[in-house]
Amino acid sequence: MILASQSPRRIELMREAGYDIQIIPADIDETPRAGESPFELVERLACAKAAAIAALPLAASQIVVAADTIVAIDNKKLGKPHDTNEACAMLRDLSGRTHQVATGVCIISGDTRRSFVEVTDVTFYELSNAEIEAYVASGEPMDKAGAYGIQGVGGRMLVRAINGDFYNVVGLPIARVKRALDAL
């Protein structure tokens, strides 16, 4: 099986679930299309990542799994911040409110393609500017959609409530992925 992802969290979740995976990250254009919802976007990008790797000769007869995660609030899509200012602005947007974390997953096995989107609601405490700046200075937000990692030592301190799959927020809804792989 191939995991088309460089995300350390996805790699760990697949390995802990017992899958013998080869890591081949896909480098695709992740630009959103005009009018595309966050949910459409993550499913399309997950499928583009999986298709790019499934097309490689070395992927022949292998199952390919890919995913993409985004944070959605007020019709805005928050991906990975480009710099610390953008990370602070994202966290200010999320402060004291509930947002959605959407992960699109695509599985390709020969001519079969399955994809789905899993959504988890996450509610943040009110965050002070000092708290936001200290968290961003820790470096933890920089490679993560929405500028936080719920699994991180700092990120877990921001979260008041979660409704849905925790592992979906981390980047891969592993229980649903397992069920989709079992059903192939």
* Minimum separation from the CB atom of position 132 to ligand TTP (A): 15
Select from 53, 107, 169, 174 the one that contacts ligand TTP (CB under 6 A). 169
Contacts of 150 (CB under 8 A, 6+ apart): 122, 156, 159, 162, 166, 169, 170
Q: 29, 68, 74, 143: which is the annotated catalytic residue?
A: 68
Least distance in angstroms from the C-beta of 71 to ligand TTP: 6
Whose CA is closest to 63, among 3, 141, 12, 15?
Answer: 3
| Distance (Å, whole) CA 31 – CA 61 | 30
114 to 143: interface string for ligand TTP, x by CB under 6 A: ------------------------------
Q: Cα separation of 130 and 92, whole Å?
A: 11
Whether 29 sits among the annotated catalytic residues: the reply is no
Q: Is residue 77 a contact point for ligand TTP (CB under 6 A)?
A: no
Is 164 a binder of ligand TTP (CB under 6 A)?
A: no
H-helix segments, 17-172: 38-54, 84-94, 129-137, 166-170
Task: By CB under 6 A, tell whether 2 contacts ligand TTP.
Answer: no
64-78 b/e (C-beta count within 10 Å ≥ 16 → b): bbbbbbbbbbeeebb
Residue 89 — φ and ψ, nearest 5°?
-65, -40
108 near ligand TTP, judged by CB under 6 A: no
Going by C-alpha positions, the residue among 172, 141, 175 that lies closest to residue 157 is 141
Scanning 13-21, 133-141, 149-157, 160-168 for contacts with ligand TTP by CB under 6 A, the matching segment is 149-157
User: Is residue 173 at the binding interface for ligand TTP, with CB under 6 A as the rule?
Assistant: no
Shortest reach from residue 143's CB to ligand TTP, in Å: 6
Residues that bind ligand TTP (CB under 6 A): 5-7, 9-10, 25, 67-69, 71, 80, 101, 144-146, 148-151, 155, 169-171
